[in-house]
A and B are shown apart, each in its own frame.
Chain A
Amino acid sequence: MKRKIPLLITFTVGIILIISEFIPHKPFGQLSGELEIWFLIISGFAILLGQLSLFKVNILKIQYKQRDWQFYVITLISFVVMVTLGFLWGTGKSAGMLGHGEIITSTLGHKPFDYLFHNVYQHLQATMFSLLAFFIASAAYRAFIGRTVESNLLLTSAVLVMLGNTTFGSLLTGWLPESLNFLHLPKVSEFIMTFPTTAGQRAIMIGAGLGIIGSSLRIILGIERSYLGGE
């Protein structure tokens, strides 16, 4: 019974949603949007579970003084501070329990929650994102070491695309006559990005699309039950 009911719900909802893709008439046409709203409502409740999990895991690590336990204290303090500030003075145009906090807002220039969001959170986020540049460099170094035919091809196309996107690339082949314009590096770069890259990406997307259809059918028909913990 524990398995059969979820399977029945999955089958019914799956079939109705497939049908609704082709029937615009009410109530089918609106079903997809309605179910998305249901999903958001359930997500709203589930977020409480997530926060409880966050608290539990961090408190346990602090309690047992696990390695670098101080970081978990910072996590919990940050969480409590942000939630409290949001509750007390609200965020953006929404008021909190103590209203808009005009005095504190005029001092900080923002509401306390927004102040921390703009001056701490966003900078931390940008820091993490900017790490990507260094990781790209290290990953590219490994990828571009020419060992096989494939890696040599990758190296060649990457160099062409990179040069084609710089002014130096334009300068290198800028002297070519009009008849050889197709060899101009920005043109070569554009060609690689427009045709071979797009073709490869589309092939992957078609494969993935078929995979999604296959997986969805397996789930709707109850053949695939791993997501329910079953075989």
Chain B
Amino acid sequence: MKKTLIFLFIFISCFLFSQEISFNIKDKPNDDGAALILSWDTSQIEASKIIIERKAPDSDLIIITSSQEVVGTFEDGTDIDPGIEYNYRLSALDENGKVLHIVRTTASSSSQWFNKKKISLLILALLISVSIVYYIFSAKSGKDLYIRKIGGLESMDESVGRATEMGRPILFIPGTLDLDDMQTIAGLTLLRRLAQKAAEYDAKLIVPVCRSMVLSTAKEVVKEAYMKAGRPDAFDPDSVFYLTDDQFGYVAGVDGIIVREKPAANFFLGAFYAESLILAETGFSSGAIQTAGTAMPSQLPFFVVACDYTLIGEELFAASAYLSKDPHQLGSLKGQDFGKAIFIVVLTIGIILEISGVHFLKDFLALH
């Protein structure tokens, strides 16, 4: 009986003692094993500060964080490698800095092969990609696809013709971002069509760029377009030139070109920021026929006001396919339309569910 009582006393003491402070470490989910999540609860003792230290197998104990929160979490994402066991020590201190309690634990991280948080993104991306590929093959098999008219693109011939008649150049601006932006690439694909037309009509083309990488690509694109038009001799390598990487320096340079050369047609196709209106208004004052296209929502109103034609968002990306009339490319546009239909359905269902107080869809679609 006595032994049982002693055992019970020790057991209860240990249980109560263990309840004083909790310190748990778990692997951060859905990552490459570069972080551990530490959580603590010192509400049972009167600690005014906690210090957490970490020791890697071949290094000293280092302080990774300190906190005055009684209950808290911390993401340790510094110098953590997956599969390595780290020793952690949590010290709870009172207001005089005296150690009240120490808890030690070990943990290791692991890297995952699939980010479960992105499952909704994967499903949507797959749906849209499959639909685009399906419509590409449908178009290939000869199925007639209706694509609505895009005014800005229909006017390209008109602009080049006007420039030829007036004996003035055509100005093309591929935006102010580098080649890693899709809008710049979309602009360059249009440049090819425009350069070919300019070569056919014997109109002068001016392409000032603000990124060196864009310079090399644009030069190659224009050169190939002149070759395609059967006029390689008419290609002037200096018609595509670099001005500056600086945003407003570039604007000043292009404005100077507009004022001096008075182009008959201006094309602003790519990514633009605050320079959009300065460029477009200067072009407007010179009397040029202007076509702009960007996917920057905040710059679109400026282009709509100052330009004759504006390609809004997706129209810029559709331009190359639209102009090529290639069934493969037109098919991809139909696939995009199917993607839009998916979005409309998901958004409508989402709105209804949210109003009804059901948050399943919102949680499922949230990436973070």
Residues of A within 8 A of B185 (CB): 215, 219, 227
B302, A223: Cβ atoms under 8 Å?
no
A84–chain B nearest beta-carbon distance, Å: 18
Query: Which residues in window 36-58 of A have CB below 8 A to B?
Result: 36, 39, 42-43, 46-51, 53-54, 56-57
Is B328's CB under 8 angstroms from A223's CB? yes
Indicate whether A213 reaches chain B with its CB closer than 8 angstroms. Answer: yes
Partner of A50, one of B112, B190, B215: B215
List A residues 123-161 near B (Cβ within 8 Å). 124-125, 128-129, 131-132, 135-136, 138-140, 142-143
B278 to A135, Cβ gap below 8 A? yes
Q: Are the CB atoms of B278 and A128 closer together than 8 Å?
A: yes
By a CB distance below 8 angstroms, the chain B residues around A210 are 128, 314, 336, 339-340, 343
What CA separation (Å) do A45 and B241 show in the bound complex?
Answer: 16
Give a binary string over B90-126; 1 marks a CB under 8 Å from any A CB, 0 the rest. Answer: 0000000000000000000001111100100110010
- Within the complex, which residue of A54, A129, A140, A218 is in contact with B321, where a contact is CB–CB below 8 Å? A218
- Residue of chain B at shortest CB distance from A202: B297
Contact bitstring B334-345, A, C-beta under 8 A = 1, else 0: 011001100100
Q: Given A207-B314, A227-B221: A215 and B182 within 8 A (CB)?
A: yes
B72-80, B154-162, B248-256 - the one binding chain A: B248-256
Q: Are B112 and A24 in contact (CB under 8 A)?
A: yes
Stretch of A25-33, A94-102, A165-173, A175-183 at the chain-chain interface: A25-33
Instruction: Name the residue of chain A whose CB is nearest to the CB of B191.
Output: A226
Knowing A214-B132, A217-B332 are in contact, say whether A25-B112 is a contact too (CB < 8 A): yes
**Residue numbers in B under 8 Å from A24 (CB-CB):** 30-32, 111-113, 115
Q: Tell whether, in the assembled complex, residue B189 and residue A213 are in contact, meaning their CB atoms are under 8 Å apart.
A: no
Interface residues of A in 178-231 (CB under 8 A from B): 200-201, 204-208, 210-219, 221, 223-224, 226-231
A129: contacting residue among B188, B192, B248, B340, CB under 8 A: B248
Which residues does chain B contribute within 8 Å of A208, judged by CB atoms?
295, 313-314, 316-317
* Nearest CB in chain B: distance from A222 CB, A: 10
The contact of B241 among A57, A135, A139, A212, by CB within 8 Å, is A57
Chain B binding surface, main DSSP class: helix
> Is A60 in contact with chain B by the CB < 8 A criterion?
yes
Q: For chain B residues 40-77, which have a beta carbon within 8 Å of chain A?
A: none
Residue B333 at the A interface, CB < 8 A? yes
> CB distance A215 to B281 under 8 Å?
no
Give Cα A4 to B329, complex, Å: 19
Q: Of A21, A42, A54, A204, which is within 8 A of B313 by CB?
A: A204
Q: Which B-chain residue is minimally distant from A207 (CB atoms)?
A: B314
- B301 CB contacts on chain A under 8 angstroms: 143
Report yes or no: B122 in contact with A213, Cβ–Cβ below 8 A.
no
State in angstroms the CA–CA spacing of A25 and B211 once bound together: 34
Residues of B close to A56: CB separation below 8 A: 238, 241
A115 within 8 Å of B by Cβ?
no
**Does the CB pair A211–B336 fall under 8 Å?**
yes
Cα–Cα, bound, A81→B241 (Å): 21
Provide the B191-224 mask, 1 if CB < 8 A to any CB of A, else 0. Answer: 0110000000000000000011101110011011
- Say yes or no for B86: interface residue by CB 8 A criterion: no
A60 closest partner in B (C-beta): B238
Residue among A142, A206, A208, A223 with most chain B CB within 10 A: A208
Bound Cα distance from A216 to B129, whole angstroms: 10
Could you name 8 residue pairs across A and B whose Cβ atoms are closer than 8 Å? A29-B111, A42-B213, A48-B212, A49-B215, A50-B211, A54-B242, A140-B305, A223-B136
Q: Give 17 A-B pairs besides A22-B114, A132-B278 with Cβ atoms closer than 8 angstroms.
A: A24-B32, A29-B111, A47-B212, A47-B245, A49-B242, A129-B274, A142-B306, A205-B297, A210-B336, A210-B339, A219-B185, A223-B328, A226-B190, A227-B192, A228-B220, A229-B224, A231-B228
